[in-house]
Amino acid sequence: MVLTRDFKETVKERAARDPTFAKAMLDEAATAFLNGEPHVARLILRDLVNASVGFEALAAETNRPSKSLHRMLSEKGNPSMDNLAAIFGAVRKCLGVAIEAHAVEAA
């Protein structure tokens, strides 16, 4: 399913104005990544970066070029674990939250 610009703008605007929604997006991205869905995690992170820290500030925070970050978080991106850790860390810092992972019984 192709997302329209209107949907992306809606998500971006909501995440920018609603800290609880932004935190839920970060939680969803981390959960998707840890559950073997890195492509989903990248796309959620991309929308969250656009709505919160922004790619230029993310570049400054992570010491990586903005264009490289855009590519990493694209649909076909392939960020390294170090780059993902840096991205998650910068977004986490921007939102003022910590991330905890908990294993639960599979359904």
Provide the pLDDT for residue 97: 96
- The answer to whether residue 104 sits within a structural domain is no
96 in the Ramachandran plot: left (φ > 0), alpha (ψ -120 to 50) or beta?
A: left
- The answer to whether residue 37 sits within a structural domain is yes
- pLDDT for residue 5 is more than 90: no
- 58: domain range? 8-95
How far CA 20 is from CA of 14, 26, 27, 46, 78, in Å, comes to 10, 10, 10, 17, 28
- The answer to whether residue 57 sits within a structural domain is yes
DSSP 52: T
Provide the pLDDT for residue 80: 95
- The answer to whether residue 101 sits within a structural domain is no
- Among 23-32, 55-64, 77-86, 97-106, the minimum mean pLDDT is found in 97-106
- The answer to whether residue 75 sits within a structural domain is yes
Altogether, the residues listed in the chain come to a count of: 107
Phi, psi of 12, deg, nearest 5? -60, -45
- The answer to whether residue 103 sits within a structural domain is no
- The answer to whether residue 1 sits within a structural domain is no
Q: Give 60-91 pLDDT, tens digit per residue.
A: 999 999 999 999 999 899 999 999 999 999 99
- The answer to whether residue 17 sits within a structural domain is yes
The number of domains in the chain is: 1
Provide the pLDDT for residue 12: 86
